[in-house]
Amino acid sequence: MLKLAERMSRAKPSAIMLVADKAKKLKAAGRDIISFSIGVPNFLPGAHVYAAAREALEHDSGQYGSNRGPDALLDAFLKHLKEGGFDGYERKHLAVGIGAKQVLFNLMYALLNEGDEILIPTPYWTSYVDIADILGAKITLLPCPAEQNYKLTPAQLEAAIKPTTRLLLFNNPSNPTGMVYTPDEVKALADVLVRHPLWVLSDDIYNRMIFDGLPYAHLVKARPELRDRVVLIDSISKTYGMPGWRGGLIAGPESVAQAMVTLNSNHITNLPEVVAAAATAAFDGPQDIPREKCADFSRRRDEVMSALSAIPGVRCPRPQGAFYAFPDISVAFGKKHGTSAIANDVDFCNVLLDAKGVACVPGSAFGEPLAIRISYTCKPAELTEGLKRLQGFFAELK
């Protein structure tokens, strides 16, 4: 039997997808399942997005498109950046990809040699580690436990950076924790980064989902001199309710954008015309749907926090963005539900799913085995019922 490439021995299927698939199968088999598992926004984009997609179909060029991305999309993204206070970017600093995930893969492919060291604050979004593993990078995890609100501190960053460190992954607002860094926190991290020559991938895909009127702080705005090594990553998936459309973008140094273009020219070639037109309309058009959804998610966050705070021993730093909560549920370890023992987060999620039909993702998928991730974008009635079941589950532990 011929063998696969060595790097495939390091490739793992996404742990989040595994839980989501299990929940889907149980539902298909007739079980009453509430899924808090997958990070989909669960709303649809505005009518103007569909109109732009239809219009693109009407005028299908039948041709390949630009490897960088069509000018209209690049310009719409530039406008979005400018509105967010990111000045000085031009088309030559941008490139598209098939969602932020493929963009991240391309960026790590372009910036890391095998064995290069990469810093990943933990809890992390699972694919950071999975992609870095496939590429043979040397991963250093920087544990940021609940006691420090799941946030990286400047002292921690300073201590972790070695002369050999090539890259930091920074995600704000965070999946899986929903934490948002304050301007002072971002500035303090930026002050560390200016002293050390490493790349930074700034995963900003939840940048329009920040609650409580908090400002959106960014490393590049805090210290503009970082612009020549910080890459901004954005996506239409979460902000515009378009996860299946697959559109992602970067803004960064010209050399990095050019590397993306070269990689694109050798695999995806271009975004499909209809997707590019829809993404352009999303960035360019009215922003009332993302605004309304953000307000809606902040109300759901309140409901989740109030339910969790009523469970003795469960601690959850208050999320201020995205649509996740990441409670520490380790109080359940060493206990039983009925005859099922719970030794860790994976047991917890399995027993909870079997007993109550509620699907959550074990924290170990994000590098923090004391917690679980709750994605709270399901229907409002399901959220209320799922939280009630979670409370009931804890009450029944012995």
Ligand X SMILES: Cc1ncc(COP(=O)(O)O)c(C=O)c1O
Tell the smallest beta-carbon distance from residue 220 to ligand X (Å). Answer: 18
Minimum gap (Å) between residue 129 Cβ and ligand X = 12
Judged by CB under 6 A, the residue of 77, 125, 170, 297 near ligand X is: 125
Pairwise CA distance, residues 287 & 237, whole Å: 14
Using CB under 6 A, pick the residue from 68, 80, 93, 101 that binds ligand X.
Answer: 101
357 binds ligand X (CB under 6 A): no
Tell how strand 230-235 and strand 199-203 pair up: parallel
Taking CB under 6 A as the rule, does residue 235 contact ligand X?
A: yes
Paired residues of 329 in beta bridges: none
If we measure between CA atoms, which residue out of 96, 50, 97 comes closest to residue 72? Answer: 96
365 touches ligand X (CB under 6 A)? no
Measured in whole angstroms, the distance separating CA 19 from the mean position of its chain's CA atoms is 17
Q: CB under 6 A: which stretch of 97-105, 150-158, 192-200, 313-321 binds ligand X?
A: 97-105
**By beta-carbon distance, which residue lies closest to ligand X?**
99
Q: Is 233 helix (H, G, I), strand (E, B) or coil?
A: strand
Encoded amino acid at 290, one letter: P
Count of chain residues binding ligand X (CB under 6 A): 13
CB of 174 to ligand X, least distance (A): 7
What does the CA dihedral 277, 281, 282, 285 come to, rounded to 10 degrees? 180
Enumerate the β-bridge partners of residue 94: 251
Question: With contact defined as beta carbons under 8 Å apart, do 156 and 147 qualify?
Answer: no
Using the rule CB under 6 A, is 248 a contact of ligand X?
yes
In this complex, which beta carbon is closest to ligand X, that of residue 237 or of residue 280?
A: 237
Assess contact for 375 and 37: CB atoms under 8 A: yes
Stretch near ligand X under the rule CB under 6 A, chosen from 96-104, 277-285, 289-297, 389-397: 96-104
The answer to whether 386 and 34 are in contact (CB under 8 A) is yes
Q: Which among 242, 178, 175, 171 has a CA at the least distance from the CA of 211?
A: 178
Contacts of 240 (CB under 8 A, 6+ apart): 45, 49, 279, 282, 289, 290
Minimum Å distance from CB 361 to ligand X? 11
Q: How far is the CB of 158 from ligand X (least distance, A)?
A: 24
208 binding ligand X? (CB under 6 A): no
Give the residue, chosen from 23, 39, 81, 190, that forms a contact with ligand X under the rule CB under 6 A.
39
Answer for which of 33, 52, 120, 205 binds ligand X (CB under 6 A) is: 205
Selected range binding ligand X among 79-87, 94-102, 194-202, 286-294, rule: CB under 6 A: 94-102
Contacts 24+ apart (CB under 8 A), 84-90: 84/207, 84/216, 84/218, 85/218, 85/221, 86/218, 86/220, 86/221, 86/232, 86/251, 88/227, 89/251
* Cβ-based nearer residue to ligand X, 221 or 246: 246
203 binds ligand X (CB under 6 A): yes
Smallest distance from ligand X to CB 234, Å: 8
Sign of CA dihedral 291, 292, 296, 299: positive
Work out how close the CB of 162 gets to ligand X at its nearest, in angstroms, rounded to a whole number: 25
Which position among 154, 243, 253, 272 is part of the footprint of ligand X (CB under 6 A)? 243
Residue among 121 and 357 whose Cβ is closer to ligand X: 121
Q: Report the interface residues with ligand X, using CB under 6 A.
A: 39, 99-101, 125, 171, 175, 203, 205, 235, 237, 243, 248
